[in-house]
């Protein structure tokens, strides 16, 4: 007996899905750890907007911060927790499943998402 494929919304995470939080997770997944100011600069966000999104991610247990003194200034470093990395990657898989199921169901498109062309015609 074969297992059923996961439903497209399995793994979909509303906390991660917000565009700026998704971008924060993507950056931290790739970087491992990043200083708050670097994340702010890379994403083009104000400190207050980034702080609000990081707070939501921290409250969900997805991001942790550590504070360290560097060049006589206190810096805040961010990284995904194990739970946060799993949530982010699960969310990506859910988005791929949603997009994949939409492509398969869309008439006039090939399985890879490219427009299908009738070559008989």
- Prediction pTM value: 0.75
**Using an 8 Å Cβ cutoff, are 21 and 39 in contact?**
no
**pLDDT above 50 for 121:** no
In this structure, the strands spanning 73-80 and 34-35 are antiparallel
- Backbone φ and ψ for 83, nearest 5 degrees, come out as -65, -40
pLDDT digits (tens, 9 = 90+) for 44-73: 999 999 999 999 999 999 999 999 887 888
- Distance set, CA 54 to CA 21, 28, 73, 74 (Å): 7, 11, 21, 18
What pLDDT is recorded for position 49? 97
Report the sign of the C-alpha dihedral through residues 11, 14, 20, 24, in that order: negative
| DSSP E strands, the chain | 34-35, 63-70, 73-80
CA distance 39 to 33: 10
pLDDT digits (tens, 9 = 90+) for 5-52: 556 577 898 899 999 999 999 999 999 999 999 999 999 999 999 999
């Amino acid at each position: 007996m074969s297992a059923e494929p996961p439903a497209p919304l399995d793994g979909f995470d509303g906390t991660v899905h917000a565009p700026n939080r998704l971008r924060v997770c993507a950056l931290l997944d790739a970087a491992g750890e990043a200083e708050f100011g670097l994340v702010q600069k890379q994403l083009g966000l104000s400190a207050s907007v980034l702080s609000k999104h990081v707070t939501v991610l921290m409250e969900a247990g997805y991001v942790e911060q550590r504070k360290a003194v560097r060049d006589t200034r206190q810096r805040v470093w961010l990284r995904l927790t194990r739970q946060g990395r799993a949530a982010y990657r699960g969310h990506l898989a859910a988005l791929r499943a949603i997009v994949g199921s939409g492509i398969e169901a869309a008439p006039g498109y090939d399985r890879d998402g490219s427009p299908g062309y009738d070559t008989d015609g």
